[in-house]
Structure 1
């Protein structure tokens, strides 16, 4: 795909970095970016060499939310919003795992790989929702976070009314959703929204990569995938006994795997484990989609 609003790399450890890339426009969100981001994430999830994905923004901003021109368009347009943001021939990252994940942003939970949001600067609107569906979240000191919608006359968007109470509790979620105020990373960390806050600047991503490298180098990719899918599936029900029983069944299967054998051997030999790349199912012809926009 010809990428115009995003870019990505993959390093030798299997750490992929994805950038929202609209310099001079605050990396603001557009339908084009939406399609590119989905395509990138599906591509990375299907690459067995990729073990973790870091999502960030070009320059000193993460993503300031929807492009201002697009917002202005809806003040006079009669177009239906849901139809206007439905990009044709989209990639389908995270599909086939859980029917509840077959929609915008929640598809992050169906991905094989863990996704780390590296909030390097302003994060607003749809970007605030997007990072809420990432698995881990780190922010640079001084990065401003706001959902924006109350000050735009809009409702809570993209599942924030569901996911925020589950991350920070109803008290903090009500504060975030009702006021739309700008919140700094230190307060978000105290709320439990962030996993860490690091100094801004060139060293910010290096600090985030410390966690990414631990995942890439020291843990079984299959174990991470399973734990991720167990966690999000369990969020959708209220049966702890089912969670235990399901995990026991999974343990039995994993104990027959090469990863378990390697993990035990590494423990006995007092060394770091060397887990192989996962064996992924081959792509089908139907998977070769390119959601390029005119």
Structure 2
């Protein structure tokens, strides 16, 4: 696929997806969504990738400023919402569980963790992207907003389900019912973010974190643990324990288990088979 709105790179076991429409503050379009899903599918299938990092083009002075205003005007003129995608769009993460087979929920079906490096404003769908990442790191003072209330929209793409699970009902109601702007400093206090870092330290920290995860955790463990986390949101505690015990017995027969023990005993990096 010819990429016009994102930059996709793979190095050191990490796939980096950069939202890149800097003149429009990396605003979201149907084209960007199409390219983003293509890139996720490539990363998820690539054995040379173990962790995915998503960030915004720094020239855009934002992570993602939300839906492009031109697209919003188009919806208004048509009198209906048009996502701007086609039926043949890539389907990363689909087929793992019915609960994940929907727009943005597909992140939960990916076999690899996604880290959001939020280097500026995250509004509307930008907030959605950050929320569906597994880990979120940001710069101080970045502005966040759900924004939907200003356009007579509902809470978008499952945020009404997801945000209460991340920040609790009280904070989720504040974000979603007011559509107010809040800062990354507030988001950190709410528990939405894992860490705040100065702009010059954000990407070096995230890439180092991703590399340590890619090298220090077996690919099988990353895949299964991520699936457990999001599947267990729908389970009771006993079912989660029973499934964990089943997986433990199964995964203990894999060569990566023996390699992990051996590497630990020999105080070296493990050579994962994946």
The interval holding the TM-score normalised by the smaller chain is over 0.9
Residues 1:117 and 1:84: Cα distance change in structure 2 (over 3 Å): closer
Contact kept, 8 Å, 1:218 with 1:274, in 2: the verdict is no
Residue 180 of structure 1 and its aligned partner are, at CA, apart by: 1.4
Contact kept, 8 Å, 2:33 with 2:85, in 1: the verdict is no
Alignment correspondent of 1:2: 2
Contact kept, 8 Å, 2:31 with 2:84, in 1: the verdict is no
Taking structure 1 as the reference length, the TM-score comes to 0.90
Residue 222 of structure 1 and its aligned partner are, at CA, apart by: 0.5
Alignment correspondent of 1:232: 230
Residue 86 of structure 1 and its aligned partner are, at CA, apart by: 4.3
Q: Please state whether the residue corresponding to 1:224 is helix, strand or coil.
A: helix
Alpha-carbon displacement from aligned partner over 1:125-146 (angstroms, at most 9, x marks no partner): 0111121111001111221111
Taking structure 2 as the reference length, the TM-score comes to 0.96
Residue 182 of structure 1 and its aligned partner are, at CA, apart by: 1.5
Alignment correspondent of 1:166: 165
User: In the aligned structure 1, how far is the partner of 2:84 from the partner of 2:171?
Assistant: 30
Contact kept, 8 Å, 1:142 with 1:200, in 2: the verdict is no
Alignment correspondent of 2:78: 77
Query: Number of aligned pairs?
Result: 272
Contact kept, 8 Å, 1:28 with 1:64, in 2: the verdict is yes
Q: Please state whether the residue corresponding to 1:96 is helix, strand or coil.
A: coil
Contact kept, 8 Å, 2:53 with 2:114, in 1: the verdict is yes
> Within 5 Å, which residues of 2 pair with 1:249-264?
249-264=246-261
Contact kept, 8 Å, 2:115 with 2:135, in 1: the verdict is yes
Q: Which runs of 5+ in 2 are unaligned?
A: none
Alignment correspondent of 1:21: 20
- Coordinate RMSD, CA, aligned: 1.2
Q: Please state whether the residue corresponding to 1:242 is helix, strand or coil.
A: helix
**Higher RCO (C-alpha under 8 Å, 6+ residues apart):** 1
Residue 87 of structure 1 and its aligned partner are, at CA, apart by: 2.1
User: In the aligned structure 2, how far is the partner of 1:152 from the partner of 1:84?
Assistant: 15
Question: Are 2:90 and 1:94 equivalent residues in the alignment?
Answer: no
User: In the aligned structure 2, how far is the partner of 1:53 from the partner of 1:26?
Assistant: 22
Structure with greater helix share of residues: 2
Question: Are 2:49 and 1:50 equivalent residues in the alignment?
Answer: yes
Residue 56 of structure 1 and its aligned partner are, at CA, apart by: 0.3
Residue 109 of structure 1 and its aligned partner are, at CA, apart by: 0.6
Q: Which runs of 5+ in 1 are unaligned?
A: 279-294
Q: Please state whether the residue corresponding to 2:94 is helix, strand or coil.
A: coil
User: In the aligned structure 2, how far is the partner of 1:84 from the partner of 1:21?
Assistant: 19
Alignment correspondent of 2:188: 189
